[in-house]
Structure 1
Amino acid sequence: MTTPPEAPEPPDPTEPVLCSAKGCRAEAVWALRWNNPRLHTPERRKVWAACDEHRDHLSQFLAARGFLRDVVTLEELPEDPR
């Protein structure tokens, strides 16, 4: 009999959110809300966090694939972003 995996720990709200750009350790300011219509239902939203420096680059990456839905500040992000 195997033990079921433990649920991941929820993020610590006191810790800063870091930019999703590879190798970037800057604090994020932006929430890039996206979904892949081939995998996700239309209302589903995944979120990448972005610092000011990487906001445009990450937005362009998602937009070029037709995935970007909107960009808001982290403060504007709903508690449950889906």
Structure 2
Amino acid sequence: MALGVESASGICSARECTEAARYRIDWRNPAIHRARTKTWLACEEHLTYLENYFRYRSFPFEVSAFVVPDQEEPQDH
């Protein structure tokens, strides 16, 4: 899945945060996006806050390490 423009910036998705992201959170709102997954990024400080945001709303989500797109290893074709 390709990251959106906001996520590709490598900055935490928490409001007004300007810290570099360390985590990638892929999530969806089943009431609106049945098959569509969105991606938010989190710095160390905001990871728990964003996880709690999804848990409170019962949104399915998955947390993984954020890898800057330019640093991703090329895939074999």
TM over 0.5: yes
Gaps of at least 5 residues in structure 1 are: 1-9
Give runs of aligned pairs for residues 1-82 of structure 1, distance below 5 A: 11=5, 16-42=9-35, 44-75=36-67
TM-score, normalised on structure 1? 0.67
Of all paired residues, the percent bearing the same amino acid is 32
RMSD: 2.4
Secondary structure (helix, strand or coil) at the match of 2:15 reads coil
In our comparison, the structure showing a higher alpha carbon Rg is 1
Asked if 2 retains the 8 angstrom alpha-carbon contact of 1:59 and 1:68, the reply is: no
The answer for the alignment partner of 2:75 in structure 1 is none
- Matched AA of 1:26: E
TM superposition outliers: structure 1 runs of 4+ over 2 Å: none
Kindly tell me the number of residue pairs found equivalent between the two proteins: 64
Could you list the per-position Cα deviations for residues 27-63 of structure 1 after superposition, in whole angstroms to 9, with x for gaps in the alignment? 0010111100011124x21011000010000110111
Richer in helix (by share): 2
